Amino acid sequence: MSKISADKLQTELAKGTTAPVYLLTGEDVYRKGLVIEQLRTILHPDDFNFFKAQATSADVSEALAQANTAPVFSDVRLIVLTGIDKLRKGSKEQAALVAYAQNPLATTTLVLTHNDAKKIKTDKALADACGEAGRVVNFDELKNDDLSAWVRTQMSAKGLKPTFEAVDLLCEGVGSDLAALENEIEKLFLFTAQREDKTLSKEDVLTCIGFSKEENPFELSNALTACNKKNALAQIDKLVDSGEDPVAILSKMTYPILKMARIKRLSEAGLSNSEILRAAGLFPWESRLISSARNFPSQKTFLAVLNRLIDLDSGFKSGANLDPKTTLKGIVLTLLR
């Protein structure tokens, strides 16, 4: 056996195929948790033959003692140790896990989760042993295209038909936390339960994550990436008048400004649209930003704006007597003059 992709693992589990040892690496704890639940469903261990714990010194010893014991009134044991990245490299606990993986008991399925993508590169002995005996599967945090594809798949499984804008907005609003995204998708499913048309719009997403259309938290960001000076100035008025913290407004401005500057730099370097999408970490439907970036200011103006953003952040946080509307609008007027 060997290192395989998460998709290949799903194919194997769908067929009921299991291995004696699994090392689940990467920072996506949610999908690793789903794999553990799938294994429980496939193997059906009762309470006497299932053990799950954090990888502390005592628990590693207990887990391996159980892993080396034949199941009681059952065909299999399922042993799960989470967070083995916390074990010190070269420790006796880590050495014991390597030794077990080199000679696992056929009636036991041992699952190890490792949550540190950088550290796993130094834990080669354990990864090699697990790869020889079973499966090493990496679960990196989903981003960009992969994240939107996962959201679309989860929605489709519930009969929902999201627009590209709806998926984009949900990913931007919730982030890459799959558990939180699953919760929001369930809310959207319930929200549309009485509707015949299951098409999801960005307005549906805004409503379900707690904002009305008029309160779209991404409107300022959208105005800046569209280089829409009039709308950006109006959004600053609205946010300041509603009592939004100036530092929070500044944060809403900084990310899209940096994003557009990066896109413009890549475009001026002669990259194709598809290359810019990959290099800038954009969603496919954000290709419109490449055209918009042509209206973005020169590098000299951008650097001046960036320095001003840094100065304002420091000033707002230190309690300097700054008028939020005047200073924040000054950024927009300089940027989109």
CA proximity to 239, closest of 227, 224, 225: 224
**168 close to 287: Cβ distance less than 8 angstroms:** no
Please state the φ and ψ torsions of residue 219, each to the nearest 5 degrees. Answer: -65, -40
Between 178-191 and 144-157, two packed helices, what is the crossing angle to 10 degrees? 40
- List the domain boundaries for the chain: 3-138, 144-213, 219-335
Instruction: Read off the DSSP letter of residue 86.
Output: G
Q: Hey, do 3-138 and 219-335 end up sharing a CATH topology, with the first three levels equal?
A: no
Name the CATH code of domain 219-335 (choices 3.40.630.90, 1.20.272.10, 1.20.120.1630, 3.20.20.80). Answer: 1.20.272.10
- Torsion over CA of 117, 118, 124 and 127, rounded to 10 degrees? -10
SS3 189: helix
CB atoms within 10 A of CB 130: 32
Q: Is the pTM of this model over 0.75?
A: no
Laid out side by side, the sheet with 3-4 consists of 3-4, 135-138, 21-25, 108-114, 77-82, 50-54
SS3 195: coil
Which amino acid would we find at residue 238?
A: K
Tokens of 62: 């207990």
pLDDT for residue 217: 63
pLDDT for residue 57: 67
Instruction: Tell me how far apart the alpha carbons of residues 17 and 42 are, in angstroms, rounded to a whole number.
Output: 9
- Kindly list the averaged pLDDT for each block of 10 residues, start to end, along the chain of length 337: 85 93 91 93 92 83 91 91 87 91 94 84 85 92 86 93 89 82 90 90 82 61 85 88 86 86 88 84 74 83 86 85 89 86
pLDDT for residue 123: 78
pLDDT for residue 1: 54
Domain 144-213 CATH class label: mainly alpha
pLDDT for residue 87: 87
pLDDT for residue 285: 65
To which H or E segment does residue 111 belong? strand 108-114
CA proximity to 255, closest of 224, 232, 231: 224
Domain 3-138 CATH class label: alpha beta
Burial of 10 per CB tally in 10 Å (0-12, 13-18, 19+): middle
Residue corresponding to tokens 């809403």:
252
